Amino acid sequence: MRSELYIDGTWTPASNGETFEVINPATEEVIHHIAAATAGDVDAAVKAARRAFDNDGWPKLSGTERARYLRAIANGIRARQAEITRLEVIDNGKPFPEADWDIADAAGCFDFYAGLAEQLDSNPEETIALADDRFISKAVREPIGVAGAIIPWNYPLLMASWKVAPALAAGCTVVLKPAEVTSLTALELAAIAHEVGLPPGVLNVVTGAGPVAGQAIIDHSQVDKLAFTGSGSVGSKIMAAAARDIKRVSLELGGKSPFVIFEDSDIEKAVEWVLFGIFWNQGQVCSATSRVLVQEGIYEPLMARLIEETNRIRIGNGLDDGVLLGPLVSKKQYEQVVAAIEAAKAAGATVACGGTRPEGFDKGYYLRPTVLAGVPLDSTAWTEEIFGPVVCVRPFRTEEEAVALANDSRFGLAAAVMSADDVRAERVAKALSAGIVWINCSQPTFTEAPWGGYKESGIGRELGRWGLDNYLETKQITKYVSEDPWGWYIK
């Protein structure tokens, strides 16, 4: 386990020697200490990234050359898949098979953006058809500059990859700050980048507190672009900081995503996707479908099966075989989720199952997967993100009512709809106000497809070619090709 900052190609302690604790959420044990970067350390990292961008030629390499590094990083992740997966489990708490999936996905993300970096070489510019044939015009894409990437704790290496891979592919250099509760695998990413010979300063990783290290990134005048995933409150601060000197900004924030299930759906399939939509990663998923709307004809039988299957989910240490629900990431998160369940009960909701600590777990931030029924529409349990294994289920009568209830939210990250009637499912998918809509499933995410939210769930899109666009400027180059003088002032 690494414990130092990675700045300008070297490992270094924090300049004031400060560290913070790494706690395994399954055991509550302090398993490590990591450097807590100061504003001065962040300044050094940004300056290194600036030099690597301005002088040392990273943006000047061809896309194909940059792609070679990205593929080497992908292979480096794969070569250490089991070891990195284990680090993710002891840091974040998620079950081993989930972490294994994330790490494979992270490697795939680097491969995917290697492909897009290569395509930048084959399509370096786009000719623009102009109505005026005295001019020819083209659009060229150029990297924005130094990217400051700030990520949350729910998918540590994957969120790092969603930002670092497209940024490097585009030719940007990066200062990455992982969440303070899950920094281990971001440091491994730096180690892999180092091993494959990524030039110094191209990727810098600064661990530490949001209000110190994160704030220093967003306030830094030499950072050109901020890419953030996390809470809406910090997202607002980032947008305000970006506004001061017009930094480019992309935000992936929270959600309270609906899942509309029509009564022609297969109940078994519906229950499986409801479970996957909320209990994967202990519900600590920005796109979790945490508001489930079930058409009244199947509400009772669906609830019965949902409760049965929810109670069957094996809870435990993510390193143990067969575990499908690990502990929440931290004490703070555990307490917040428990408080949200208590608030839901106080508002009149019924706990259909879960809601308490599982028996036999004296240590670790474990919580039984929870189904809430009768949740009032104006209660915070229905309107605000809980970010834990807690789903609110309500019946509805008509399609119109379901769409209105689903869209009645300040968030718009994701939504899901299930129906045997494909025409209806497609119609509802179009009517839902969300950046991602799943039909007959919930949560599968693909590196090739755009990811991001409507409304207060964010700005911009990650993944796919949209993810690369986040790190590119578009330059217009227009040439006057007529032999005739312009003839405005001089006739």
Our CB check for ligand NAD shows the closer of 108 and 467 to be 467
Q: Exposed, middle or buried, 383 (CB in 10 Å: 0-12/13-18/19+)?
A: middle
Our CB check for ligand NAD shows the closer of 57 and 211 to be 211
Closest CA to 217 of 48, 46, 51, 6: 46
363-381 residues labelled b (16+ CB within 10 A) or e (exposed) = ebbbbbbbbbbbbeeebeb
**Closest CB 128 distance from ligand NAD, rounded Å:** 34
**Closest CB 427 distance from ligand NAD, rounded Å:** 26
**Closest CB 52 distance from ligand NAD, rounded Å:** 22
Our CB check for ligand NAD shows the closer of 223 and 271 to be 223
Residues 6+ apart with CB under 8 A from 441: 273, 276, 416
Our CB check for ligand NAD shows the closer of 302 and 468 to be 468
Closest CA to 249 of 459, 46, 53: 459
Alpha helices in 133-252 (DSSP H): 156-170, 184-195, 215-219, 232-245
Type of residue at 464: G
Our CB check for ligand NAD shows the closer of 154 and 173 to be 154
Our CB check for ligand NAD shows the closer of 192 and 413 to be 413
**Closest CB 329 distance from ligand NAD, rounded Å:** 8
Q: Is 52 helix (H, G, I), strand (E, B) or coil?
A: helix
Our CB check for ligand NAD shows the closer of 141 and 163 to be 163
Tell me which residues touch ligand NAD (CB under 6 A): 150-154, 177, 179-180, 210-211, 214-215, 218, 229-231, 234, 237, 252-254, 286, 385, 387, 413, 458
CB contact at 8 A, 163 and 176: yes
Q: Is 57 helix (H, G, I), strand (E, B) or coil?
A: coil
Phi and psi torsions of 165, nearest 5°: -60, -50
- Helical (H) or strand (E) element with 248: strand 248-252
Our CB check for ligand NAD shows the closer of 66 and 177 to be 177
Our CB check for ligand NAD shows the closer of 69 and 162 to be 162
Phi and psi torsions of 255, nearest 5°: -160, 175
CB contact at 8 A, 22 and 184: yes
Q: How many CA atoms does the CB half-sphere of 403 hold within 13 Å?
A: 13
Q: How many residues does the chain have?
A: 491
Instruction: Give the DSSP letter string of 186-206.
Output: HHHHHHHHHHTTPPTTSEEE-
Using only C-alpha atoms, the chain has a radius of gyration, in whole angstroms, of: 24
Type of residue at 354: G
CA distance 457 to 235: 10
**Closest CB 160 distance from ligand NAD, rounded Å:** 11
**Closest CB 127 distance from ligand NAD, rounded Å:** 36
Strand-pairing partners, residue 174, are 147, 203
CA distance 153 to 39: 21
Our CB check for ligand NAD shows the closer of 85 and 92 to be 92
Q: Which two tokens stand for residue 371?
A: 């189904």
**Closest CB 47 distance from ligand NAD, rounded Å:** 19
Dihedral of CA 412/416/422/428: which sign?
negative
**Closest CB 195 distance from ligand NAD, rounded Å:** 25
Which of 252, 385, 456, 462 is catalytic? The answer is: 252
Please say if 426 is a catalytic residue: no
**Closest CB 382 distance from ligand NAD, rounded Å:** 16
CA distance 402 to 392: 14
Q: How many CA atoms does the CB half-sphere of 299 hold within 13 Å?
A: 14
Tokens 């840091």 identify what position? Answer: 91
**Closest CB 150 distance from ligand NAD, rounded Å:** 5
Closest CA to 327 of 337, 341, 340: 337
Which residues are known catalytic residues?
252
